[in-house]
Copies of this chain bind each other. A is one copy, B any other.
């Protein structure tokens, strides 16, 4: 899994964009956030942002692109923990200075904003609202991880994939990055397989089933949900809880 890579580009003086992720927060916090930012990084596709075992004190906000967070076993098998989408935080562990417990690799070219960990700690002491926000994010991430666990442990291949596709679609939609029922879809079937705990071959067969059942259309780097209700039911995806779950 995962092949060639190229070096990043660091550009400390990139224009600063809006931090949708810290919403809702007040202006004071937004200002703080922008001051704490030290640099933006542009990462080419396939490049690792960091790897399991490395020691680093940087946390990130993903501005643009898709990044996978994964862990791997000595035998080479890998499990994707999460697909990070624009607006997501990476390595947000203000008090953890041990080695990274997972790897982060860009799927597409990606732009991240770098936060020195020390400033995050500083923030916890001086900005209680951001502290609450961080806790909220941790709580949501934990819930999402547990939902993922439930899926891999107790759902069939079909259900897991249907759920994942719905999840990615809804998350993109909440970010305003859906074009009707279609989203850009830069990941490969191997990524999907690594996320749901199946092999590429079997993943391919299930994808075909979903296509044959007129639930999705997945080709040319884009995913179209042809039957949202059907796909949601198949994957046990609670459409009524989208807002609260993936609220940015």
Say yes or no for A73: interface residue by CB 8 A criterion.
yes
* Min C-beta distance of A80 to chain B, whole Å: 9
B residues near A79, Cβ cutoff 8 Å = 149-150, 153-154
Chain B residues with Cβ under 8 A from A136's Cβ?
Answer: 95-96
Could you say which of B93, B138, B143, B152 contacts A153, with CB atoms under 8 Å apart? B152
Partner of A77, one of B96, B134, B149, B154: B154
Q: Which residues of B contact A132 (CB under 8 A)?
A: 94-95, 121, 124
User: Does A81 lie at the interface of the complex (its beta carbon under 8 Å from any beta carbon of B)?
Assistant: yes
Q: Tell whether A155 pairs with B124 under 8 Å between CB atoms, given A135-B95, A146-B81.
A: no
A77 to chain B, nearest CB (A): 4
| Complex interface residues of chain A between 177 and 236 (CB less than 8 A to chain B) | 196-197, 236
Asked if A20 is at the interface (CB within 8 A of a chain B CB), the reply is: no
Q: Is the CB of A135 within 8 A of B71?
A: no
What are some 5 contacts across the A-B interface (CB < 8 A)? A73-B150, A81-B150, A93-B139, A98-B244, A101-B146
Sorted from nearest, which 6 A-B pairs have the closest CB atoms? A153-B197, A79-B153, A77-B154, A79-B150, A138-B138, A93-B139
Q: How far is the CA of A131 from the CA of B130 in the complex (A)?
A: 12
Known: A146-B101, A149-B149. A139 touches B81 (CB 8 A): no
Report B-chain residues with C-beta under 8 Å of the C-beta of A143: 101
Give, as a whole number of angstroms, the nearest-CB distance from A64 to chain B: 25
Tell yes or no: A24 within 8 A of B by CB: no
Q: How far is the CA of A150 from the CA of B236 in the complex (A)?
A: 22
Interface presence of A128 (CB below 8 A): yes
